[in-house]
Amino acid sequence: GNSVTQMEGPVTLSEEAFLTINCTYTATGYPSLFWYVQYPGEGLQLLLKATKADDKGSNKGFEATYRKETTSFHLEKGSVQVSDSAVYFCALLTDSWGKFQFGAGTQVVVTP
Amino acid sequence: DGGITQSPKYLFRKEGQNVTLSCEQNLNHDAMYWYRQDPGQGLRLIYYSQIVNDFQKGDIAEGYSVSREKKESFPLTVTSAQKNPTAFYLCASSLDNWGINTEAFFGQGTRLTVV
């Protein structure tokens, strides 16, 4: 079946540090890939997405590239802020599965 | 503004009682989903619906029930058969559940506590 694996958290960083959150997937068909962010006590918000191999999704300084050869969709940001503290979820959607599959989430804590 | 509305934000239930969580969307989306989130864990799919009057069990459907009588609404009932219902519940919708350009939109969640 389909699955998404994310690096475990929490990831603790200082402000302006470089952030990477690893995400790898297993899927049949040709999945679309997503990163969602969840702030405390809230629902999930779409951060970025990519729908085919080699696509790069980007938003608010975050980037992720769809790598079919390594089945990965790692999230990166060059300089994090305290306001980036949240839980980040990697997810996939395939037409053969018919619903979203989420990773376990990675908590990111950015300190001043 | 279009979006998904979950209510209530906080819900307390006595053991042995059924409770219903509301989810309404005005995005004209066909597909709707219910997820459960426990501390330190990811999202687990409870039920999903692709179209009105149709729904399928997800990974952890036992102790839950749903209905989809209207496109806009997908209420979740947590029954007394659910042994550990205390959790954060998230409702989501998408334009369809297999188009490659779709994405899921989430409500703000309902925190259910059994007292």
Instruction: Answer yes or no: do A32 and B33 touch at CB < 8 A.
Output: no
**A46 pLDDT exceeds 90?**
yes
The angle formed by the CA atoms of residues A77, A53 and B101, to the nearest 5 degrees, is: 85
Burial class (CB in 10 A: 0-12, 13-18, 19+), B115: exposed
Phi/psi zone of residue B46: left (φ > 0), alpha (ψ -120 to 50 degrees), beta?
A: alpha
State how far residue B17 is from chain A, nearest Cα, in angstroms: 25
**B88 pLDDT exceeds 80?**
yes
pLDDT tens per residue, range B33-78: 999 999 877 889 999 998 899 999 998 999 999 999 999 999 999 9
What pLDDT score was predicted for residue A94? 76
Distance between CA atoms of B114 and B12, rounded to whole angstroms? 6
Strands (DSSP E) along A7-112, which ranges? 11-14, 19-21, 23-26, 32-38, 44-50, 56-59, 62-65, 75-77, 86-93, 101-102, 106-111
User: Residue A83 has what DSSP assignment?
Assistant: G
Higher pLDDT: B41 or A84? It is A84
Instruction: Answer yes or no: do B97 and A43 touch at CB < 8 A.
Output: no
